[in-house]
Chains A and B, each alone.
Chain A
Amino acid sequence: MAKIKINGKELEVDPKKNLLEASISAGFDVPYFCWHPKLGSIGSCRQCAVVKYRDENDKVGRVVMSCMEPASEGSIISTDAPQAVEFRSNVIEALMTNHPHDCPVCDEGGECHLQDMTVMSGHTTRRYEFEKRTHKNQYLGPFINHEMNRCIQCYRCVRYYRDYAGGDDLNVFSSRNRVYFGRANDGVLESEFSGNLVEVCPTGVFTDKTLKKHHTRKWDLTTAPSVCVHCSVGCNTIAGERYGSVRRIYSRYNEQVNGYFLCDRGRFGYEFVNSDQRIKKYIIPAATEGVTKTTAFDFIAKALKGKKIVGIGSPRASLETNFTLKQLVGSENFSIGLSKLDYQLAKLAVDTLKNGSVKSPSLKEVEQSESVFVLGEDVTQTAPMLALAIRQAIKNLVKPKADKAGIPQWNDAPVREVIQSAHGPLHIAAPVATRLDDVATTTYYNAPENIARLGYAVAHYINNKLVLPSGLSEEVKILAGKIAADLMASAKPLVVSGVHCKNEDIIKAASDVATALKEAGKSVSLSLTFEESNSFGVVLIEGKPLEVLFDDAKTAKAEILIVVENDLYRRLSKERVDSCLSQFEQVIVLDHNCTSTTKKATVILPVGTFTEADGTFVNQEGRAQRFYQVFVPESDTAESWRRIAELAKAIEKPVVGESFFDFTKAVANSIPQCKGINGIAPPPDYKIEGQKVPRESHRYSGRTAMKANINVHELKPAEDLDSPMSFTMEGFHGEAPSALTTSYWSPGWNSVQSINKYQIEVGGALHGGDPGLRLVEPVVKGTYYQSIPDAFKVSSKGLVAVPVYKIFGSEELSAKAPAVKERSGEAFVVLSTADAVKQGLKEGETVEISMGNQITSMNVIIMKELAEGLAGISAGYCGVNPELSEVSFKK
C-alpha cells in the first residue's frame, strides 16, 4: 500500500493503480474519457488532468494526466486546483468544437458520458465559430447504429473491440481531425460482443438499434435487475420497459460474473418478449366461446378431476417454477424436461462439480487463469461471455513481461508493445473450427470420441498412473504431451468443457485432466457449460428424463400432461413427441411464446417471460441468481409458479406458498443443494429508510398522461408483494443493496460510468458484495472417471451427426428476436472437404438431409477442419431433429 494525498486527504492505495483510479475510488469526481477500468489508460483524451506536486513545499505543481501517473508512495495531487479545472474545461471546449449539438435527438441523451463530463468540467460558453467536420455513417448490421459526427475520438471503441474482444473488423482510419472509427466498408460487425460498444462509447456514436427504434430515454424506462436467459453463463442484466414493450437490455455489473459486458445474444435476444408470437390469452383450441381466465380454470378443474397428472418442467424456467410443478404432480410424475441424453450430460456435469475436487470458476476467476484447455466446445457460440473471459485469461502469461520492464498493467499501450502478439497457452479440441482459434496455441479437430481420448491422454501425461488410451497416433501423443506440459507449467490452469458435444466421455476426460492437475498441486478450475439458463438448477430439482416420464405415464395410464415453458420438439424427434402427446386426454401448456408444443396443447395458459416474472436461476458456475419482474403487463400473464399454484388451487391440490418468497424458501428448505437461495436478495418486506426500491427513475416522465385514454385520473399503480421494489418512481433513490440495482445513477453521473460509484474501488466488487450464491464447492478428494471410449470409426452407413452451435440461431428464445434472426441464417450441415467431394456437394448449396425418419433441407458449409465421416448439424435450428443419428443425403 502506498500513502498518497488527494486534495489534502491522506489515503492508502494500491500502488499498482493509477491516480485516476485512486481518485475515483476515493470518491472524487475526475472526468475522463479514454480510460476504462477494463481497458486501462492511454492518455489520449487529456480529460483527467489534475495538478501534481513534487512535495509538500511545492505550491505550484504541474498539470498531469491522472490516468497516466502511478499512485506511487508520496504522490500529492489536487483534483480541484484551478489550473486543472480550467484545463479540463478547455478540453471539453475543444471536443465540443466538432461535437454536434443534437442531444435532443440523440439516443445517448440523458445517459451520455460526454454530457456528464461537460457539466462536470464547467464548460458552458462556446467560442468556436467555424464549421464542424462531418462524416458519413455506416451500416453496421441489425444491432448497432453508427453516427460518426458525435465521435470525440477517445479510441475506446477500437480498444474494446480489437484489443479486448479480439474483433478485427472495426478500426480507426485517417489521421488528424479526420480520424474515423468504423469498418473498411459498410457491413455487419462480426464480433459476437459488438453490443458492448453501446456502453463503451461515451457518446452516441454506437447506439442500440433495437432501443433506438422506440425513441426512449433512459429515465423513461422502467427497469429491474435481471439475469440473462439465453445461455448458462447467467450474465447479470438490467431490463428496461416502457409502454408495455421491453426496449433494451443493459449489462448489470457483477465482478464475479460478466463484469461490465454482455454478449450480443444476451443484449439483443430480448425482443422475443415483444414478439407477435407471444401468448397473452387463455386458449382452449376446442372451445366454442371466448375463453377467460375463469372459464379456463373451470375447464381445467373439471377436466382434471380424479385424473392422473404428469408434469414437465424446463431448464429455461426458474427453480421456483420447476419446484412448484414438481410439488403439484409429485416426484414420481415429474420430468425436468430434458431428454435422457441431455439429462445424463447435465447431471454428469453437475455431479462432477458437486463431487469433484476441482472448483468451477466464476468468469473473473476464468480471467485470472494462466493456461486453458478447451474440450469439445466452441465456447463463443455456447457460452459467449466465457469465451470473452478466456480471451482475457491468455493475456496473463505475458503480463510478467510488462512487470519485468517496469510497466504498470494499466498502462495499456506500452504493455501491448512489450507483449506484441504473444499470449499464454490455449489449447482447443473441438469437432469444428471455433471462434477462439485465432488465439489458440494448438487446435485439434476431431470426432467427440477422439476429443475425449485426447483428454485422457493429457490426463495421463499429467499423472502417469492414469491410463493412456491405446492406439493413439504419435502425433496425438505429442500434442497431448504438449498440452499437459503447458497446463503443468502454469500455476492456474483452467479446463473447459460442457454438454454441447452430447458426449459424456468428453466431460469425464475434462474432469480427469482437472483432477490430475489438482493432485499435482495446481490451483486448477473446471468450467463446464450447459445448454440453458437454468440447466444446472433443474438438475438440482431432479426429475425424470422425458422418455422415462412418457413411458411411465403410459404404464400408469396418466391422462393429463402439464408442460411448463418447454418446447418438447426441441428435445425429442417430432415422431416421438407426436406419439407421446397423443397418449394424453389433455395437454396443458404454460408458456409465453407459441411453439410446436403449444400447437398441440388442449389448454394454453399465458405466463410471463423473464421480464414479467421473479425467479432464480443457477448458472454454469453453480451460482444461484435472482431476477425480477420488470413491469406489470396489461394482459393477464403471471409467473409460471404463480399459475401452477392457481391451477393447484383449482383442482384442490394446493402447493405450499403464495408469494414468490414462499416458493423460494420452499426450494431452499427442500433441496439441500439450494440452501440459502432465499438469502441472495433482500426479502419482500425489506425497506430502506422506510421505502421500497423504485423501478423508475426520479425523472420518469409522462406517468400521469400514459393511461389518460383509459381514465383521466391516474390509475393506482400496481403493488409488488413479491419483492422489495416498487413499480413506480416512489421509493428510495439512493444506492440499494447490490442485488436490487434497478439502474446506475449518481448525482452528476447519468451514464453507465456511474457504476464506479457502486463499487468498493473502481473495477472491483460492488458495495456489500456481488450478488449471487455459489451452490457447489469442491470436495477434498476427487475421483477419476477413466471411461475411455473407442476411437471414432468412419461409418459405412452414413455420416455421424455432431451438433454445431451458433450464437445466433441455436438458442430458442433469442432466435425469435428479429435482430438476432437477421443474423442467424438457415439450418446448415457442415461437411469435411473429403465428404463434400464424395457427395458431390458445393458450399452454399441446399441439400435434403435425412436423420432418423425426418427429412430436412439444409445449406451446405464445407469446413476443412471437420474430420471425415462427421456431419456438423446446426443445433437448435427450426426443423432440425434434436435426436442425433446417422445422416444421409437425399439425392
Chain B
Amino acid sequence: MLTAEEIHEIKEEFHLYPYKQAACIEALKVVQKHRRWVSDENVKDLAGLLEMSAEEIDSVATFYNLIYRKPVGKYVILLCDSVSCYIMGYETVLQHLERTLGIKYGETTKDDRFTMLPVPCLGTCDHAPAMMVGKDLYRDLTPEKIDEILNSYK
C-alpha cells in the first residue's frame, strides 16, 4: 500500500504533464525516495494509481538504472567507472571500497548501510576518480578520503 504522503506527492506531479501516465517516472522516484527501492507490490499499487498495468510500469522501471527494483541499503554508493576515472585509477578506489565494506558491485553491506553500484561518468572528470554517496558527490578520491567519507554516513 502506498502511503497517503506518497500518493499526495505523486498526484502533485500530475499537473506537470498532459496526462497522468506521463508521470510514471516521477511516481517511481517518489516511491523510491520513501522506500529506497521499488517492490513488485509498489509496482502494482502504482499501476492502480496511474491507471496503467503493472507491465507498463515495470517496463519503464526496469529500463532505467537509477530505479532500483531490488532492495538497497540506506546509502547507495555510485562509483564512476567511466573513462576519465579509469585513467585516473578508479580501480584502486573500487578495490578499497570492496575491502572496506566487504561487498562487490550490486551487493549491500550486512548492516544494510551501503549498496555499491557502478555508474557511468558523473560529469566531474577534471576531478576523477569520483563517486556519489546518496545525493552527495565526492571527487579526487583516494583510499584515505574514502575512509573519512564512509565514516560520515551512519
Contact = CB atoms under 8 A, between A and B. Distances in A.
Q: Do chains A and B touch in the complex (CB under 8 A)?
A: yes
B63 A184 contact: no
Contacts of B40: 184-185
B45 to A, nearest CB: 13
Contacts of B58: 171, 173, 184
B7 interface: no
Interface residues of A, number: 13
Interface of A: 168-175, 183-185, 420-421
B59 interface: yes
B53 A173 contact: no
B43 interface: yes
14 contacts: A168-B52, A169-B54, A170-B55, A171-B53, A171-B55, A171-B56, A173-B58, A173-B63, A175-B62, A183-B55, A184-B54, A184-B58, A185-B40, A420-B19
Interface string B27-69: 0000000000000100100000000111110110011000000
A174 B55 contact: no
Contacts of A169: 53-55
A420 B21 CA distance: 11
Nearest to A170: B55
A183 B52 CA distance: 14
A184 B54 CA distance: 6
B20 to A, nearest CB: 11
Contacts of A168: 52-53, 55-56
Contacts of B54: 169, 184-185
B53 to A, nearest CB: 4
Interface of B: 19, 40, 43, 52-56, 58-59, 62-63
Contacts of A174: 62-63
Contacts of A171: 53, 55-56, 58-59
Q: Interface SS of chain A: helix, strand, loop or mixed?
A: loop
- The 7 A-B pairs with the shortest beta carbon distances in the complex, nearest first, are A168-B53, A171-B55, A171-B59, A184-B54, A173-B62, A174-B62, A184-B58
Given A168-B55, A168-B56, A184-B40, 4 more contacts: A168-B53, A172-B59, A173-B58, A183-B55
B21 to A, nearest CB: 8
B47 to A, nearest CB: 9
Contacts of A173: 58-59, 62-63
Contacts of B19: 420-421
A192 B17 CA distance: 32
A721 B19 CA distance: 63
Contacts of B53: 168-169, 171, 184
A171 B52 CA distance: 12
A172 B19 CA distance: 22
- The interface centre, meaning the residue of A168, A169, A171, A175 with most chain B CB atoms within 10 A of its CB, is A171
Nearest to A183: B55
A172 B55 CA distance: 8
A184 B52 contact: no
A146 B63 CA distance: 21
A495 B127 CA distance: 69
Contacts of B62: 173-175
Nearest to B43: A184
A170 to B, nearest CB: 6
A270 B50 CA distance: 39
A183 B44 CA distance: 13
Contacts of A421: 19
A174 B55 CA distance: 12
Contacts of B59: 171-173
Contacts of B52: 168
Contacts of A175: 62-63
- The interface centre, meaning the residue of B40, B54, B62 with most chain A CB atoms within 10 A of its CB, is B62
Nearest to A180: B62
A171 B58 CA distance: 9
A421 B52 CA distance: 13
A183 B58 CA distance: 9
Nearest to B58: A184
Nearest to A173: B62
A65 B151 CA distance: 55
A184 B43 CA distance: 9
A174 B60 CA distance: 8
Nearest to A174: B62
A169 B54 CA distance: 7
A175 B61 CA distance: 10
Contacts of B63: 173-175
Contacts of A184: 40, 43, 53-55, 58
A652 B54 CA distance: 67
Contacts of A420: 19
- The interface centre, meaning the residue of B40, B43, B59 with most chain A CB atoms within 10 A of its CB, is B59
Nearest to A168: B53
Contacts of A185: 40, 54
A184 B52 CA distance: 13
A420 B53 CA distance: 17
A174 B54 CA distance: 14
A170 B54 CA distance: 10
A171 B57 CA distance: 10
B128 to A, nearest CB: 24
A728 to B, nearest CB: 47
Contacts of B56: 168, 171
Contacts of A170: 55
A117 B87 CA distance: 44
A174 B63 CA distance: 4
Nearest to B61: A173
B55 to A, nearest CB: 4
A141 to B, nearest CB: 15
A699 B19 CA distance: 55
A564 B120 CA distance: 72
B65 to A, nearest CB: 8
A392 to B, nearest CB: 21
A420 B62 CA distance: 22
A419 to B, nearest CB: 13
A664 B61 CA distance: 59
A175 B54 CA distance: 17
A175 B63 CA distance: 5
A420 B43 CA distance: 23
B106 to A, nearest CB: 14
A384 B59 CA distance: 28
Contacts of B43: 184
A872 B115 CA distance: 54
A184 B56 CA distance: 9
B26 to A, nearest CB: 18
Nearest to B18: A420
B16 to A, nearest CB: 16
A420 B22 CA distance: 11
A210 to B, nearest CB: 25
B49 to A, nearest CB: 15
A276 B54 CA distance: 40
A168 B19 CA distance: 18
A206 B19 CA distance: 33
Nearest to B22: A420
Nearest to A190: B53
Contacts of B55: 168-171, 183-184
- The interface centre, meaning the residue of B52, B53, B56 with most chain A CB atoms within 10 A of its CB, is B53
B68 to A, nearest CB: 14
Nearest to A181: B59
A185 B62 CA distance: 13
A178 to B, nearest CB: 9
Nearest to B64: A175
B67 to A, nearest CB: 11
A206 to B, nearest CB: 15
- The interface centre, meaning the residue of A173, A175, A420 with most chain B CB atoms within 10 A of its CB, is A173
B134 to A, nearest CB: 24
Nearest to B57: A184
Contacts of A183: 55
A138 to B, nearest CB: 12
- The interface centre, meaning the residue of B19, B55, B58, B63 with most chain A CB atoms within 10 A of its CB, is B55
A42 to B, nearest CB: 16
- The interface centre, meaning the residue of A168, A171, A184, A185 with most chain B CB atoms within 10 A of its CB, is A184
